[in-house]
Amino acid sequence: MLASQELEVVIGLEVHVQLATRTKLFSGVTCAFGQEPNTQVDVVSLGLPGSLPVLNQRAVELAFRAGLALGCDLHLVSRFDRKHYGYPDLPKGYQISQYEAPYCTGGGVQIHTAQWGTRFIPLTRIHMEEDAGKLVHQERGPFSEVDLNRAGTPLIEIVSEPALRSPAEAHAYLSELRRILRWCGVGDCEMQEGSLRCDANVSIRPVGESRLGTKVEIKNLNSFRGIEASLAFEIEQQSALWRAGRYAEVVQATKLWDPDAKVTQVMRTKEEEADYRYFPDPDLPPVVVSQETLDAWRAALPELPAVRAQRFIADYDFSESLAGELTGECEVADYVEALIAAGAPPRLAANWTREEALRRHGGRGHAMSEASPVAALAEIIQLVDGGEVARVVAKEVLDECLDSGLPPREFFSQRGLIQVRDAGQLEAWIAQALADNPQVVADIEGGNHKALGRLVGATMKLSAGQGDPKAINAALRTRFGIDG
């Protein structure tokens, strides 16, 4: 182990995703976000003696959907275990989780980074478990309060192999995981709301070494930026010790990321590690899913975002980055394809979605097609594409047009915004413009082709803005025998 050897970074992530169920994992009480503390509790989430857990079948379906979307091996029989630890956010004194026999193993996520290119990150396993409650620490005063709304909320924990090579890869992995799970409706995956949480494990080793180095686990990561920054910080700490010939001083530990101070702080070391005393939960029978049910769930899986992106490239000739952008959210991809199906040329459907439909959608609250009805926007795009409405004009009055509820052609025609392309009418305006501007005509004939713009302007003016400037330009060029 030479201090000068080149180092390799090794990262593995443990990601918790809240399943998009209405109710908790083992009881019928709701688990919505942002409710008054302790309003979503019942005997089961409080862990009262005599209460019995009943497994939420919808949670099982969503958990399996995640496994199917990530190409994992799904196990028809799995089991719940009790994981014991003492903390006030856990009234039962144990968390129900899957330990020995998780429902899902294998699979993986394909990621891309500038440094490492495209790589497949294998998963170790996915298991189902319940969330704990939350402690609210008073700023002053001797008390902490506990909110048990979250206790018993259904989660899956997705554990990756130690295969990520940089903070950027960790970011790419997490964001691809998020895209897939949101796409399939497994969960919202909102880090700020805690429906996507991540613990990051990191170590270093010399390039070529196959044994893993001493790992540090970083907890309390609640933003993409925090994950990258904390990993970079920890990697630098470990590398500095390595370079100083003091690698033995890296201690296996669990650390907390402090986003304000931008440092990791030791929470506990291996010696203090809890003994969870796992054993099968005697109150819960094994989770059994029939092959027919699994097949039906597999068949119901939507076309996955990466596949959809490839199809966008093949079918519509979109660039890699445009296809990636439009497949970030299922709703956006669906919207673009609905515009195309309604007659909008693909490239324009993409542009108008990015520039207008997403702006009008504003991110949340209502469906994209509610904010911008597909048929109407497709018609506007076609009017522009056919030269009947000028693009700038269409953009200017787009909101008015869509909000009016009128069929777009009717709206533009009422406003006198349909461009006249009728050749006879255009010719008449052009003839008038030529007669009105003999000097300009002489200039152009004398070789000053730039003066053509003034005739286009004069003709547009005569048409009261209704002439199609492109058609007028073309007609004038023909008249003067100017190419292009």
User: What residues line the site for ligand ADP (CB under 6 A)?
Assistant: 10-14, 159-162, 201-203, 212-213, 215
Residue nearest to ligand ADP (CB): 12
Beta strands 216-221 and 253-258, pairing class: parallel
State the minimum distance, in angstroms, from the CB of residue 180 to ligand ADP.
Answer: 18
State the minimum distance, in angstroms, from the CB of residue 9 to ligand ADP.
Answer: 9
Nearer to ligand ADP, 131 or 217 (CB): 217
Q: What are phi and psi of 29, to 5 degrees?
A: -80, 145
Nearer to ligand ADP, 91 or 213 (CB): 213
Nearer to ligand ADP, 278 or 466 (CB): 278
State the minimum distance, in angstroms, from the CB of residue 199 to ligand ADP.
Answer: 8
Neighbours of 468 (CB within 10 A): 22
Nearer to ligand ADP, 68 or 253 (CB): 253
State the minimum distance, in angstroms, from the CB of residue 256 to ligand ADP.
Answer: 16
Nearer to ligand ADP, 159 or 441 (CB): 159
CA angle 397, 401, 406 (to 5 degrees): 155
State the minimum distance, in angstroms, from the CB of residue 280 to ligand ADP.
Answer: 19
Nearer to ligand ADP, 52 or 212 (CB): 212
State the minimum distance, in angstroms, from the CB of residue 202 to ligand ADP.
Answer: 5
State the minimum distance, in angstroms, from the CB of residue 152 to ligand ADP.
Answer: 23
CA distance 206 to 100: 33
Angle between helical axes of 167-183 and 57-69 (0-180°, round to 10):
130
Nearer to ligand ADP, 121 or 418 (CB): 121
Q: What are phi and psi of 99, to 5 degrees?
A: -120, -70
State the minimum distance, in angstroms, from the CB of residue 361 to ligand ADP.
Answer: 36
State the minimum distance, in angstroms, from the CB of residue 371 to ligand ADP.
Answer: 40
Q: What are phi and psi of 306, to 5 degrees?
A: -65, -40
State the minimum distance, in angstroms, from the CB of residue 213 to ligand ADP.
Answer: 6
Nearer to ligand ADP, 155 or 462 (CB): 155
Nearer to ligand ADP, 11 or 394 (CB): 11
State the minimum distance, in angstroms, from the CB of residue 259 to ligand ADP.
Answer: 21
Nearer to ligand ADP, 257 or 318 (CB): 257
Nearer to ligand ADP, 10 or 132 (CB): 10
Secondary structure in 3-state letters for the chain: CCCCCCEEEEEEEEEEEECCCCECCCCCCECCCCCCCCCCCCHHHHCCCCCCCCCCHHHHHHHHHHHHHCCCEECCEECCEEEECCCCCCCCCEEEECCCCCCEECCEEEEEECCCEEEEEEEEEEEEEECCCEEEECCCCCCEEEECCCCCCEEEEEEECCCECCHHHHHHHHHHHHHHHHHCCCCCCCHHHCCEEEEEEEEEEECCCCCCCCCEEEEEECCHHHHHHHHHHHHHHHHHHHHCCCHHHCCCEEEEEECCCCEEEEEEEHHHCCCCCCEECCCCCCEECCHHHHHHHHHCCCCCHHHHHHHHHHHHCCCHHHHHHHCCCHHHHHHHHHHHHCCCCHHHHHHHHHHHHHHHHCCCCCCHHHHCCHHHHHHHHHHHHCCCCCHHHHHHCHHHHHHHCCCHHHHHHHCCCCCECCHHHHHHHHHHHHHHCHHHHHHHHCCCHHHHHHHHHHHHHHCCCCECHHHHHHHHHHHHCCCC
